[in-house]
């Protein structure tokens, strides 16, 4: 896919590598939740592609629901402000939840979501993220299932966007913005 004018893309994690890793994550979740039923909580919008693939690699009974959280908009750095834009429709009390996220950066988003779900008396709350950028972490969040650790670079594709663009790329790509040394 072509980048927009003034931007360029470089593959960081190929679609083939993502596919194999997602299958392995689904198998691990299926093993760990054997005999139980599961609610996957997708964090909109970035997790929708990952969740769609992950759910097809899980072979225990599984339901899905979604939450939307305030995002960076057209900036690439977290404001640290987390706000629920769309809440779950499902009751979570006494249910086993796996929160599905595209990427963990500062950890502020997942820390907030996890504390909200624990406070609603879920039976358990685990976290599954495709990508992890550990170098910018501000709060400690335990990642139960992790696809790939990546360096501190802004990435798009496989559901992740910049300014609502590039979610449709099959690979996870670095985004370069020409004339800007580092994305702010
Ligand atoms: P955190 O609260 O700083 O951990 O931010 C997590 C959220 O920031 C993710 O769900 C993404 O929406 C967004 N984000 C962080 N890094 C990137 C990136 O490299 N590309 C696209 N979105 C990102």
**Residue 11 is part of a domain; what is its CATH number?**
3.40.50.2020
Other Cβ atoms within 10 Å of 14 Cβ, number: 13
Residue 120 counted as domain residue? yes
Ligand 1 pocket residue status of 155, Cβ below 6 Å: yes
Residue 77 pLDDT:
57
pTM, whole model, 2 decimals?
Answer: 0.93
Tens of pLDDT along 102-123? 999 999 999 999 999 999 999 9
The whole domain housing 11 covers 7-69+87-177
| 44 Cβ contact partners less than 8 Å away, ≥ 6 residues apart | 66, 67, 68, 69, 86
Contact 158, 50 (CB under 8 A): yes
Can 105 be counted among the known catalytic residues? yes
* Cα distance between residue 184 and residue 171, in whole Å: 23
pLDDT at 90 over 70: yes
pLDDT category at 179 given cuts 50, 70, 90 is confident
User: Could you tell me which of 149, 50, 68, 148 has the C-alpha nearest to residue 112?
Assistant: 68
The number of folded domains in the chain is: 1
Tens of pLDDT along 17-40? 999 999 999 999 999 999 998 999
Q: Which of 105, 132, 161, 171 is catalytic?
A: 105
* Cα distance between residue 104 and residue 111, in whole Å: 10
């Amino acid at each position: 896919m072509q980048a927009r004018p003034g931007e360029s893309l470089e593959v960081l994690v190929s679609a083939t590598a993502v596919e194999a890793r997602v299958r392995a994550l689904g198998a691990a979740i299926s093993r760990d939740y054997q005999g139980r039923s599961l609610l996957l909580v997708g964090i909109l919008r970035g997790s929708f592609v990952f969740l769609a693939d992950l759910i097809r690699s899980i072979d225990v009974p599984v339901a899905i629901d979604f939450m939307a959280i305030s995002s960076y908009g057209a900036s690439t750095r977290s404001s640290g402000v987390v706000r629920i834009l769309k809440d779950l429709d499902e009751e979570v009390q006494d249910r086993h939840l796996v929160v599905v996220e595209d990427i963990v950066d500062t950890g502020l988003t997942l820390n907030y979501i996890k504390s909200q779900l624990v406070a609603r008396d879920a039976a358990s709350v685990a976290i599954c993220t495709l990508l992890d950028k550990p170098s910018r972490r501000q709060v400690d969040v335990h990642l139960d299932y992790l696809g790939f650790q990546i360096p501190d670079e802004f990435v798009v594709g496989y559901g992740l966007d910049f300014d609502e663009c590039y979610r449709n790329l099959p690979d996870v790509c670095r985004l370069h913005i020409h004339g800007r040394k580092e994305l702010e």
